[in-house]
Structure 1
Amino acid sequence: MATKILDKLRRTLFKEGVVPADSESTEDFPESSELEDDTDCISARLSGTLCFEADRAADSEDPGEASGADSDSDFLGESLENGPCSTDASPVGLSASGSSMLTRQLQESWRSLRARSLPEKLVFEVTNASVVQEGTSKYVLYTIHVIQSGSFDKTPAIITRRYTDFERLHSRLRRHHGDEMEGVCFPRKKLRRNFTAETIAKRSRAFEQYLTHVYSLPDLRRSPIFLQFFYLGDLRLGQVLLRAGQYREALGSLLNALRLQEKLGCQQLPDPQQRTHWLFNLLALVTCFQELEQLGEAQEHCDRALLDLTPSQDALQKQQFHPLLIPLLQANVRLSWKISKDKRKWEALLQEIQDCGVDIGNQPSLKEYLTKEVLVESEVESKHS
C-alpha cells in the first residue's frame, strides 16, 4: 500500500515539473531522453552541410546548395552542439535563463563570423536573358550582375552583352594571350534553336563559368582587353551624354562604370591606360555632379582624383605633374568653399605650384578635357609577336 502511495506521489510531482533530488536515472525521464536524441539529430543534420568559405561556395554547381554568411542554420547547429546538455534541462523545456544563454551564443557566433577575414572575389551572375528584335536582326541580350563576394555587396554593377560581344572578347584574348587561354572553353555557335529556353539557359550558365574561369587567371584578370569588356562601353556612353549636356542621364553610366572599375581593381593597376580611364571617370562625375548642383558628391570625387594626381615634393620642384592637376585643384577649392569644407590644404598646394614659377592662370577646364579626350580601346601586343 505504501509503495502504491509513493508511486502516485511521484507521478504527481512529475506532472508538476518537480524532480526529486535522488532521482538520476534517465529511464524515469522519457521526455528528457527524447529531447537529447532530438538535439543530437538536429546537430548531426546541420553540422557540415553549410559552407562559409567563399572558394567552396563559388565552386558549387548549384548556388542554392551553398549558404552564405547570413544563414542562421549553422548558428543553431553550433549552439545546440556547444550548449547545455538536454538531460540538465527541465522536462517541460528550456528555462528563461537557458533561452538567454542560447541568444548570447547566437550573438557571439554571429559576431565571430562577421569578424573573420573572408577572401573577396567576383561573382558573375546572369540575372536576365531577353530576346531582342531590331529590324531583321534578332539576338539574345544577357544581363550580368558583377558582385563582390566575401561580404554583402550593396552596389553590384551590371553589364548587358550579347553572344557576339562574348565571342569578340574570346577571340581577342586568344589572339593576345594564347598560352593562358589554352584551357578556357567557350560555348559554340548553333545554327538552329538559338532562341529556345533550353539554349538560353545553358548559355547563361556557360557565360557565368567562362567569366569566372578567365577572372581566376591572374594574367587574364589584369588584361586591358578583359577589363575594358566590362566598363568601357558605359564610360563612352557617359562621355556622349556629357557632351550633349545630359548630365543626369550620364551619371547612371558613369557610376556603373566606376563600380565596375573598382570591383575589377583598375585603380590599383600600373597600366597607364587604365589610370587614364579611371581618372576620366572621376573627372566626368565631378563635372556631372557640379552641373546638377550636387556639390558634396562633386567635391568627394575631386578628392578621390587628387589622391592619384598629388605629386611628390621632388616632382613638384621639377614641375613634373599631371596637366590636369591645376584645374582639378582650382575646382576643388571652389567646391570646398561652397560647401564650407576646409580648403586650406589645396590652397597651399596651389600656392606652392605657383611659387615654383608655374602659371596657374589660363588653365583648360575639366569639361573641355572631358569632351575632347578620346577613350581608346587597348590592343595588347602578343607575347609572341
Structure 2
Amino acid sequence: MASKLLRRFRDSTLRRQRGPGPPEEPPEIAELEDDTEGLSVRLSGTLSLSEDSLGSEESDGTESRCIEDLNSSSLLTKQLREMWASTREHNLPIRLTFEVTEANVVKDVHAKYVMYTIYLLHSGQFDPSPAFISCRYSDLERLRKILRSRYPDEMSSVSFPHKRLHKNFTAQTIAKRSRAFEQFLGYVSSVPTLRQSPEFLCFFYLRDMQKAQHLTCTGLYQLALPLWMNCWRLQEKLCPVGPSTHRLLVLAGLVICHQEMDSLADAQAFSERAVLLFRDSQEQNVPFFISFLHAHIQLSWRVGVDKRNSEAALLRLQEAGHVTQNAPSLKETLIRETNQETT
C-alpha cells in the first residue's frame, strides 16, 4: 500500500512538471479499503511474531512485504511523523487502549497454540506504567462467552474472530486476530457495565494475583513482586477507585514484598496508598484497615515520615470499640485470604 502511494505521488509530480494533461481518475474504492493483509503490523508497528509462527504453515509473505514497503517510503514516514507531531499540540481525550505487541507459538506435550501479549495503556498522554497480560485465543473466547451469557444486550453486536481448521499459525492469521482482539477488548472496556463487571476485571489480574499470593506466602518475594506490580497497574487502569478486597490484597502483597526485601520507602508508600483509600471511602473493612494502620505506623517510623494521622485513626477505632491490639499482620491476612480461596 505504501509503495502504491509513493508511485502515485511521483506520477502526480511528473505530470505537474510536464504541464496540464487529462485529469487523473480517482482510485478505486477496493484499492484503498480492501487491504487487510498484515493490518496489525502496519497500524501499530510493534507486533512481534515469533519465528515458529511461520514454521508449521506456509505464509504468503504479505506482512514482510508491508514492512518493506513502509520502510522504503521515506515520504510516508515523514508524513506520519508530521501528523503525530501536530496531534501533540492538541489535548487528546485520555482513554484505555489495548495493543498486541507479541505473539509466540508455544508447543507442549498436549497442544500447540499462540500466546498473545496484550498491553494496556492510556492513549492521549504518555503512559509511564503500561500493564500487560498474556493469554491464548481460547482465554479470550471464554471471556466473550461469559460476557455474552450474562450481558446479552451489551454484547449482542460484538464481533470476534472465528475458529479455523487450518492456517492458525501463519503470520497473516495471527496479525488479523491480534487486530480483532484489540478491537474486541477496546469495545468491552468502553461500555461501563462490561468494564466494571467482575468477569472482565478478574480476567486481567486474578490469575497473576493468585500466583503472587502463593509465592508471597511461601517467602518467594522476588518472584512475587513483579506479579504484584503488574496487578496493581492493571487495577489502576481498569478498576473503579475504592478499597475493594482485591485491591487491598494487592497493596498488602506490595507492602510485604518491599518490606521483606528492605525497600522500606516503597513499602511505606504503598501502605500509605491503602490508608488513603480507606479514608476516602465510606465503606471500610475495619480489620484490614487496622492491619494497614499498624504497618503504616511502623514503616513511617522506620523511614522518618510523619505517622501521627495514622496513630490518631487507630485511636479513633479503639474508642469506637474495635480491637486494635494484637491485630493480624498484613502477611497473616494475606495467608488467611489465600487459604480461604483454596478451601
Match 1:300 to one of 251, 258, 269: 269
Structure 2: where are the runs of 5+ without partners?
A: 1-41, 46-69, 71-75
**In 1, Cα distance between equivalents of 2:285 and 2:214:** 28
Counterpart residue number, 2:241: 268
Q: Any residues of structure 2 matched to 1:126-145 within 5 Å, and which?
A: 126-145=100-119
Structure 1 residue runs of 5 or longer lacking an equivalent are 1-60, 79-108, 378-385
Contact 2:254 / 2:267 at 8 angstroms: preserved in 1?
A: yes
1:346 corresponds in structure 2 to 310
**Aligned partners of 1:352, 1:210: CA distance in 2, in Å?**
48
Deviations 1:140-161 (A, max 9, x none): 1001111111101111111100
Q: Which amino acid aligns with 1:325?
A: F
Identity of matched residues, %: 47
Closer/same/farther in 2, CA of residues 130 and 324 from structure 1, 3 Å limit:
same
Q: 1:180 to 1:329 in 2, by over 3 A?
A: same
Q: Displacement, 1:72?
A: 6.5
Q: Residues 235 and 375 (structure 1 numbering): CA distance in 2 closer, same or farther, change over 3 Å?
A: farther
**1:222-237 alignment, distance < 5 Å:** 222-237=196-211
What's the counterpart of residue 258 of structure 2? 289
Distance of 1:123 and 1:136 partners within structure 2: 34
* Cα distance in 2 between the residues matched to 1:228 and 1:311: 24
Q: Whose relative contact order is higher, 1 or 2, with alpha carbons under 8 Å and at least 6 apart?
A: 2
- Partner residue of 2:323? 359
Q: Would the aligned equivalents of 1:238 and 1:253 in 2 still touch at CA under 8 Å? A: yes
Cα distance in 2 between the residues matched to 1:346 and 1:365: 16
Partners of 2:178 and 2:280 lie apart in 1 by 46
RMSD: 2.8
Q: TM-score, normalised by structure 2?
A: 0.71
Q: Secondary structure at the match of 2:98?
A: strand
Q: Is 1:337 the equivalent of 2:301?
A: yes
Distance 1:75 1:218 in 2: 29
Amino acid of the structure 2 residue aligned with 1:62: L
- 1:85-164 to structure 2, matched below 5 A, reads 113=89, 117-164=91-138
Does 1:62 pair with 2:43?
yes
Tell me the CA shift for residue 311 of structure 1.
7.9
TM-score (norm 1): 0.64
From the superposition, tell whether residues 361 and 223 of structure 1 become closer, same or farther in structure 2 (CA, over 3 Å): same
Larger radius of gyration: 1
Match of 2:172 among 189, 198, 208: 198
In 2: Cα distance, 1:267 partner to 1:281 partner:
15
Q: Secondary structure at the match of 1:62?
A: helix
Tell me whether 227-236 or 165-174 shows the greater mean CA deviation.
227-236
Q: Which amino acid aligns with 2:157?
A: G
Distance 1:327 1:350, change over 3 A: same
Q: What secondary structure sits across from 2:286 in the alignment?
A: coil
